Amino acid sequence: MRTHGTLTKWNDDRGFGFVSPASGGEDLFVHISAFPRGGGRPRLDECISFETETGPNGKLRAVRVLRPGGRRVSRRSGFVRRSTPVSGLARVVFMLATLAAVGTYAYSRWKDPGDSNAIIPLTSAIPESSEDFSCDGRTRCSQMHSCAEARYFVRHCPGTQMDGDHDGEPCEQQWCN
């Protein structure tokens, strides 16, 4: 996880120092090799972003340091990765489409079960005799397929929520009207 902090101590001759995390806590060791190449020497009171990992002595240390406004440099090739405006736009469009799809799915799964505009499939096989019904955890009218099914669930299954006015007739607005 990336954290922010301030470089509070630095020994330029030996190439290491300590950073104070912005969230508080103990100062963390940081080595010159954790800084990006070509970014200049670290300076006292410099604000940096870093990740932490456990060092060989068992203590946390700052690694993969970034400076504000700096770019990530690939250590293997030595060049700066830049995205083209088209790839950035494509990424944003893809993320928005994914977010819309997830939102639509979540809405369809968790919308108000008492919604009278709920879509009920007409092609499903609906058992007509009460012997064909069984308590399977459904508790609301929007989950039923017929008035007979709703009546069976109210009479035989615990925890149903289909008889709002407690008159013994379930799902009066959807099925049993």
CATH of the domain at 27: 2.40.50.140
Q: 């494509």: which residue's tokens?
A: 90
Q: What is the pLDDT of residues 9-25, one digit of tens each?
A: 998 888 899 999 988 88
In a domain, 87, yes or no: no
Rounded to whole angstroms, the Cα distance separating 141 from 134 reads 15
* Mean pLDDT of the chain, nearest integer: 79
Same domain for 120 and 176: yes
Residue range of the domain that includes 28: 3-66
Residue 31 domain-assigned? Answer: yes
Query: What is the model's pLDDT at position 74?
Result: 44
The number of folded domains in the chain is 2
Q: What is the pLDDT of residues 27-82, one digit of tens each?
A: 899 999 888 887 788 888 889 899 999 888 888 899 999 988 765 544 444 455 55
32 is a domain residue: yes
The phi and psi torsions of 153 (rounded to 5 degrees) equal -65, -40
